[in-house]
Amino acid sequence: MIKPLQQISNNKTGNRTMPVLFTLTLILTSMIGLAQTAYITNRADKTVSVINVATNTVSATIPVGIGTNPFGVSVIPDGTKVYVTNDNSPGTVSVINTSTNIVSATITVGSNPGGVCVSPDGGTLYVANYFDNSVSVINTSTNSVLTTIKVGNFPAGVSVTPDGTKVYVAANNVSVINTTTNTVSDTIIAGAGPYGVSVSPDGNKVYITDESSDSVRVINTATNAVSAAITVGNHPYGVTVSPDGSIVYVAISNNSISVINTATNSVSATIPVGSLPIGVSVSPDGIKLYAVNEYSNTVSVINTTTNTVSATIPVGNFPTAFGNFISTHTITGIASINIEPSSISIYPNPATNQLTIHTSSFHNEAATISIMNVLGEVMHEEKVKWSNEISMNINNFSAGIYFLQLKSESGSVMKRFVKG
């Protein structure tokens, strides 16, 4: 994987169908909370700094191992594992158990892996191998490589659509992977230097940073065509979209963050941060943005309401955290047990106007359906006499991530969905 400073100097010429079923839980309480943790890769120290997002303090430092070069990071949706790419040849992926903060497995992949992204259902990991021009597809249950897919030259960023059907890979072009066949289904020209990539929460748009033209390309996922090019600061790298899809944040090498209004496709603000920001991730409630500054050895915490830095967190040496590095998972404070995914499905997911819930968990019982946002606030609640299938109108909901809970005398089943 080319190092960002080298990219500035060398311009990338040298080193370098079914509904998605999320994890379900039978919960014995109606109390809901969100555990949020940021995982920051420190290349020079060969460690990962663990940041408590609530307090903005480093709660642990995880050794990744001798000979590693941690660069990219992706957190599994249920928060139990973190995947870290090691930018070496041969390359590896370190699997961190978040309950112990210990590396539990190491997976061999292609040469100099950088970008990494886990699928929305947590079952599959996609790793971009920069010098092999390929993507490794990994089964997260077995930590084994299922297949390797050839893509464009020098793949960097990678992002999966919310429905899990497509993977967008930023290389010398943008490769679109069909996850059913594990083949490249389309190739999109999106500037001369695609690097970072992020899919909007509703799955309708993909944002690609093009470091060669100092711009962000917007791709319509329905047509796989570039619909806009937005000029930002010099040499953009990491990119992330707010939970409601209204804002895009872009890490700029000249020590700033460009804030893009997605309604107008224009830069609405520029935020000064530390030296050479690489990775960016926004908190699930959209209130904070975290920017990882490689040359300052810090993480800038940005208040997204005021677009100002509210805190600066010291971490290890040469941090990058390229990817989605913030963990969010539902917690209850009371022990829970898993139920079979086949017992419930929600579709379509993402949904736009109507959401259909099908389950065999309740048998002609009176039940309460509650829909909550990422803050745990109840947005809608109704009592029903449960049958096999119920449809709900969600047209008035804002775009974003929600949790749906079905509650009866037997307990409650929770499911996550995306409103487009």
Amino acid 327: pLDDT:
83
Q: Which residue has the tokens 């992002």?
A: 159
Tokens representing 301? 């915490």
**How many Å apart are CA 220 and CA 284, to the nearest integer?**
24
Strand partners, 63: 47
Do 71 and 292 touch, CB atoms closer than 8 A? no
Q: Please name the residue that has the structure tokens 């109606």.
A: 30
Residue 388 phi, psi dihedral angles, 5° rounding: -70, -30
Sign of CA pseudo-dihedral 358, 343, 165, 127: positive
Pick one of 3.40.640.10, 3.30.70.100, 2.40.50.180, 2.60.40.3080 as the CATH number of 340-419: 2.60.40.3080
- Dihedral sign from CA coordinates of 325, 328, 334, 340: negative
Fold of domain 4-12+22-330: Methylamine Dehydrogenase; Chain H (2.130.10)
Residue 82's pLDDT is what? 97
pLDDT score at 376: 64
* Separation of alpha carbons 252 and 222, rounded Å: 28
> What pLDDT, on a 0 to 100 scale, did the predictor assign at position 68?
86
Give the amino acid at 25: T
Q: Are 299 and 319 in contact (CB under 8 A)?
A: yes
Give the pLDDT score at 67. Answer: 80
φ/ψ (deg, to 5) at 220: -80, 115
What is the token pair recorded at 259?
């804030």
Q: Can you tell me the distance from the alpha carbon of 322 to that of 316, in angstroms, rounded to the nearest whole number?
A: 15
- pLDDT at position 328 is 61
Q: In what order do the strands lie in the sheet with 47-52?
A: 57-63, 47-52, 33-42, 326-331
Strands 47-52 and 33-42: antiparallel
Neighbours of 139 (CB within 10 A): 13
Sheet containing 308-314, strands listed edge to edge, beginning at the edge strand earlier in sequence = 277-282, 288-293, 298-303, 308-314
The token duo for 202 is: 């509703």
* CA distances (Å), origin 239, targets 11, 207, 208, 296: 19, 7, 8, 19
Q: Residue 174: its pLDDT value, please?
A: 97
Tell me the residue type at 145.
V
Compute the distance between CA of residue 240 and CA of residue 247 in angstroms, rounded to an integer. 9
Neighbouring C-beta atoms of residue 207, cutoff 10 Å: 26
Half-sphere exposure (CA, 13 Å, Cβ side) for 415? 30
DSSP state of 398: P
Q: What single string gives the DSSP state of each residue in 237-305?
A: EEEEE-TTSSEEEEEETTTEEEEEETTTTEEEEEEE-SSSEEEEEE-TTSSEEEEEETTTTEEEEEETT
Residue type, 384: V
Give me the residue spans of the domains in the chain: 4-12+22-330, 340-419
Rounded to an integer, what distance in angstroms lies between the CA atom of residue 55 and that of residue 38?
11
Q: Along the 420 residues of the chain, how does pLDDT read in single tens digits? A: 544 544 433 333 333 322 222 233 333 233 333 458 999 999 999 999 999 998 999 999 999 988 889 999 999 988 899 999 999 888 999 999 999 999 999 999 999 999 999 998 899 999 999 999 999 999 999 999 999 999 999 999 999 999 999 999 999 999 999 999 999 999 999 998 999 999 999 999 999 999 999 999 999 999 999 999 999 999 999 999 998 899 999 999 999 999 999 999 999 999 999 999 999 999 988 899 999 999 999 999 999 999 999 999 999 999 999 999 998 644 333 233 333 334 567 888 888 889 988 876 656 678 888 888 765 667 888 888 767 788 889 988 887 778 887 777 666 667 778 887
Q: Which pLDDT value is given to residue 155?
A: 97
